Structure 1
Amino acid sequence: MRRSADIDALQHVLCAALGSRVPVCSLADLAGDTGAFVSLAPAALERPTLVGGGTPYNPTSPAPTPHALDALVRRAERLDVPQILVPNVRRSDDTRALRAAGFVPVAADTECVARLPGDVDEVLRNRVGADQLRDLRHRHHAASQEATWERVRLSELDGSPWARDAFVELHQRQAERFGGRRNPYNAAALEALVGGALADRTEMLVRRRKDTVVQVALLTVSHNGRGLYHLAQTTDLDDPAAGDLHVATPYQLYLDARRSGLDWVHLGRGDVHHKRRLGADLFVPLDHWLRAPDLAPAEEEEEGGLSHFAAPPVTGVPVPGPVRYRHRPRFDMVDLSSNTNPFLGAESHYPNLDTADLARTYLATVSKLPGHGDLAALGPDHVLFSSGAVDGAMLLLAALTSPGERACVTPPTFELYAHWAHLLRLPVVEVPLRGADLSELDTERILEADARVTILCDPSNPVGTRLDQTQVHDLIARSRGLVVIDEAYVEFSEKPSYAGLVEQHENLVVLRTLSKAWGLASARCGIVLARPGVIDSLRRVQLPFVFSDAAQHAVRDRLTNSQRALASIPLIRAERDRLATALDGHPAVDRVFPSEANFLMVRLHKHERVMEQLRGAGILVADTGHLVPDTCRISVGDRRANTALLRALSSAV
């Protein structure tokens, strides 16, 4: 919860649970949170502690202001309480005042939220995959056959005394099972909640099997009216269907939330992997902040520095305002900061800027591909989503070079590299590829150019060959400048990616795209993989909000439900090989270049005549004759399209 009045209400509930006028107890008494404090000295666990937040209830506590912290410290002094706890503060909050006041962070659980931008089943299929969705629906159906689903407003709880009694009893049994010395969800706490400021927004959720209550929870509507918080939940673990209930309840809450026009459900704190499988998509790390006599002051956190490759103008400007706060969740705020139209629905909101979880999904999915295992070692700070890989190249040149510094390209290659370099007033040095298959680098000439950035395309476009791996590794190791490798077509190759090496080499940047193998050209999603200092440099020049919510939705769906895309890759390879065999020795074709991409470059005997004949047959291929004489680049289509191409070529002889 982000409103101080709501936290004050939860403090009142905690006082009632403790039987005290003030929220003072030992850390060991805070059932459910003791795991975070196990590394502390026994004295710290048993020492009286003033609690300055809503723990042990699920919502987070906003980081206190300096004025609020001063009042909290003075209160502890008046009470002669030696220890102060500010629980469950989002790591993304501004915690400078806490550090300055001598508080020390203790890592807590992660806050997990399921956002619901549309139809529940479609959202979950996009987020957890079709198989997991089927499991959720199956468990929900099974639980619904066995147990009723009832929601009782707290203002009407007096009419349902059985629900009140079951809530207290189940929580007491849970506290005893897990060794809690106090039950913070006792009868007194419930009475305080019923009579407090949150009562009008809170309901008790009850599941009953016949006359036996097997699950109870408290749900509170957020102060901005857009979502639901879990204040507390417990299940009868002796019930045979307890496992299904844990899965079925969130699914039912999603359905109810959407029917009520709500946008999110707060799933409380817990294991990220488990909550992700239940549909959560926003994960916010939390810290407890503790001030105690025997704790050393917290060291100042060092902000990750920019890469030394950043251009001078970039080092002197901050990340653009909205992007600077991308890790600060706004789902439970009343957001009046963006000057948008409040009456026209979700489309009037700016796109989500926090793409950290989507980056994790990308890395986890792609790391399962052959030759990509090293990507599992990277994290969201190594990833930037761009508007296609070519936009990533433009950002690199804009952020990491200055006018007059050289850019090196290796023709024949993708022409937009040099195009952007010229626009940015960078002299372009061309060092052509060598060898019969145009797959060899002239490493010494590239190094002699002493370029600020060298851009390689591997697999090559327009040729389709992979560059010599030994030469690429040698260039990365010896170059003083950046080496950028565009791997737009690497999924079609059986050789490994270079992406997993970015953590080992500060001067290595890898560009990827979802336009090719992943079939999302319309979503315009490129990926830059690099050291965090490079990624931070790019954020300073990237336009905010270029990655639309629709594109993010499409990307997550394709990555989460990747079977169809991955199954298409061997089909394309097989059709590429069939087409290459048919073209090899064809009367109109002089040579078919080897390819590890989803296209073939061919040299034609009568280039102009064949190109004219293909256009006349309604077939469009890329004319690459200006890059490699007498050639064209043919994308691998489906069998029908490829057969049409072969027929048109035969008529051109």
Structure 2
Amino acid sequence: MENLVRKNILNLSPYLSAREEYSEKKGVFLDANENPFGIYNRYPDPYQETLKQRLSEIKNILSNRIFIGNGSDEIIDIAFRIFCEPYRDKALTFIPTYGMYEVSANINAVELIKIPLNSDFQIDKKTIEPFFSDKNLKLIFICSPNNPTGNLLKSEDIEFILQNFKGIVIVDEAYIDFCDQPSFLEKIEKYPNLIVSQTLSKAWGLAGIRLGIAYMNESFLSYYNKVKAPYNISAVNQKIALETLHNIEEYEQKRNEILSEKTKLINELKGLKIVRKIYPSDANFLLIEADNANELYSQLIAKQIIIRNRNTVIPNCLRITVGTQEENQKLVIALKQISNG
């Protein structure tokens, strides 16, 4: 695995912050040029140890295998910076999928190979096999449950890639809390080339604090810590995340409510003539095919109901996030009005 890391990253001497040189909580702190007055006048824990310990308890994984990023987007970007030489190395993903893989690849001057999923939005193993021999292919991104399609990708297909690809496989599980299938976290011991990305933005309801989590072997974590900004997670965000992670009951209640509302919404959509198809969903959103996605999207916007138009990605498809009972009812009423002309 060391051979996959860029030489400049292997040799990198990371910035050593004041809170790394002295990490005790008590003392007269005159080392970091902080303002001595205020509530949040001190720099935060650069490695978020208390937060990682709580995640370790919830996920049943050692805290020295946890990286916390400023959103999952930081986790994606750092992967490119650790493993891919600009203008030489490549990454691969399966489309349609989360658009930040391509944006981050472009920012880091890395070619992104895009392989279409099959008609069931699953990986066709025959299409990926030829790329395993490409020495410049360093990263594979797999979003499961996938965005915008909503479905889980088959675990046996992901394991096939992990077993045969000699580079890094990042399984993005942003929506894993909404499905009843096990996370790939349990595979980290088995596959040293696996990184699992999750988030507090979805089921935990903390999109506003931008906090992503990656689980990986200790070696990869050392490189992530080398490359990240010294204080990448604010003290405020660490505090909010920790408080939320200690309230499991509220998390489960809200998640179950979302899943219940999703079932109701599916049943309502089935009765609408303007909805051609509702794709299977393992997430907190639905992908639907409509008669005319652009027109339907505009009609809903006119009623101040905002969904996501995915017509440019999947023809005539729209993505609907499951909202509160009241929000979903407003959507259904509007769709019925449009459907009835």
TM-score (norm 1): 0.50
In structure 2, the partner of 1:315 is 10
1:388 to 71, 77, 101: 71
In structure 2, the partner of 1:336 is 30
In structure 2, the partner of 1:219 is none
In structure 2, the partner of 1:347 is 40
Contact 2:310 2:317 in 1 (8 A): yes
In structure 2, the partner of 1:606 is 292
In structure 1, the partner of 2:92 is 408
1:483 deviates by 0.7
Is residue 638 of structure 1 aligned with residue 320 of structure 2? no
1:453 deviates by 0.4
SS in 2 for 1:347: coil
User: How many angstroms apart in 1 are the aligned matches of 2:228 and 2:46?
Assistant: 12
Contact 2:18 2:32 in 1 (8 A): no
Counterparts in 2 of 1:551 and 1:324: CA distance versus 1, 3 Å = closer
CA deviation vs aligned residue, 1:141-167 (integer Å, no higher than 9, x gap): xxxxxxxxxxxxxxxxxxxxxxxxxxx
Counterparts in 2 of 1:348 and 1:323: CA distance versus 1, 3 Å = closer
Matches within 5 A, 1:49-88: none
In structure 1, the partner of 2:196 is 510
Contact 2:294 2:309 in 1 (8 A): no
CA deviation vs aligned residue, 1:280-334 (integer Å, no higher than 9, x gap): xxxxxxxxxxxxxxxxxxxxxxxxxx844322111111232118927x5232333
Amino acid at match of 2:128: I
CA deviation vs aligned residue, 1:182-201 (integer Å, no higher than 9, x gap): xxxxxxxxxxxxxxxxxxxx
1:355 deviates by 2.0
In structure 2, the partner of 1:11 is none
Matches within 5 A, 1:111-190: none
User: How many angstroms apart in 1 are the aligned matches of 2:18 and 2:257?
Assistant: 40
In structure 2, the partner of 1:569 is 255
Contact 1:310 1:534 in 2 (8 A): no
Is residue 589 of structure 1 aligned with residue 272 of structure 2? no
Counterparts in 2 of 1:324 and 1:347: CA distance versus 1, 3 Å = closer
User: How many angstroms apart in 2 are the aligned matches of 1:458 and 1:484?
Assistant: 10
Q: Structure 1 unaligned runs (5+)? A: 1-305, 368-375
User: How many angstroms apart in 1 are the aligned matches of 2:251 and 2:282?
Assistant: 17
CA deviation vs aligned residue, 1:339-395 (integer Å, no higher than 9, x gap): 1222x2232211122422321211212x3xxxxxxxx2x311100110111211111
Contact 1:412 1:628 in 2 (8 A): yes
1:533 to 212, 219, 238: 219
TM-score (norm 2): 0.94
Is residue 471 of structure 1 aligned with residue 157 of structure 2? yes
Contact 2:142 2:172 in 1 (8 A): yes
Q: What is the RMSD computed on CA atoms of the aligned residues? A: 1.6
In structure 1, the partner of 2:142 is 456
Contact 2:44 2:231 in 1 (8 A): yes
Contact 1:413 1:462 in 2 (8 A): yes
Amino acid at match of 1:322: S
Matches within 5 A, 1:251-290: none
1:622 to 298, 302, 308: 308
SS in 1 for 2:318: strand
Counterparts in 2 of 1:554 and 1:533: CA distance versus 1, 3 Å = same
Counterparts in 2 of 1:545 and 1:652: CA distance versus 1, 3 Å = same
Contact 1:609 1:652 in 2 (8 A): no
SS in 1 for 2:214: strand
Contact 1:323 1:544 in 2 (8 A): no
Counterparts in 2 of 1:308 and 1:360: CA distance versus 1, 3 Å = farther
In structure 2, the partner of 1:486 is 172
Contact 2:18 2:31 in 1 (8 A): no
Counterparts in 2 of 1:639 and 1:613: CA distance versus 1, 3 Å = same
Counterparts in 2 of 1:578 and 1:323: CA distance versus 1, 3 Å = farther
Contact 1:307 1:537 in 2 (8 A): no
Q: Which has the larger radius of gyration?
A: 1
In structure 1, the partner of 2:205 is 519
1:618 deviates by 0.3
User: How many angstroms apart in 2 are the aligned matches of 1:607 and 1:553?
Assistant: 42
Contact 1:459 1:489 in 2 (8 A): yes
Contact 2:308 2:318 in 1 (8 A): yes
CA deviation vs aligned residue, 1:404-438 (integer Å, no higher than 9, x gap): 211101111001101100111111101111133x1
Contact 1:464 1:597 in 2 (8 A): yes
1:478 deviates by 0.8
CA deviation vs aligned residue, 1:13-34 (integer Å, no higher than 9, x gap): xxxxxxxxxxxxxxxxxxxxxx
Flag the structure with more relative contact order, 1 or 2, with Cα contacts below 8 A and sequence separation at least 6.
2
Q: Structure 2 unaligned runs (5+)? A: none
SS in 1 for 2:8: helix
In structure 1, the partner of 2:50 is 357
SS in 1 for 2:162: helix
SS in 1 for 2:161: helix
In structure 2, the partner of 1:427 is 111
User: How many angstroms apart in 2 are the aligned matches of 1:308 and 1:381?
Assistant: 22
1:443 deviates by 2.4
Amino acid at match of 2:16: G
Amino acid at match of 1:412: P
Amino acid at match of 2:322: V
Matches within 5 A, 1:26-65: none
Identity of aligned residues (%): 25
User: How many angstroms apart in 1 are the aligned matches of 2:20 and 2:140?
Assistant: 32
1:585 deviates by 4.0
SS in 2 for 1:550: helix
Contact 2:5 2:82 in 1 (8 A): yes
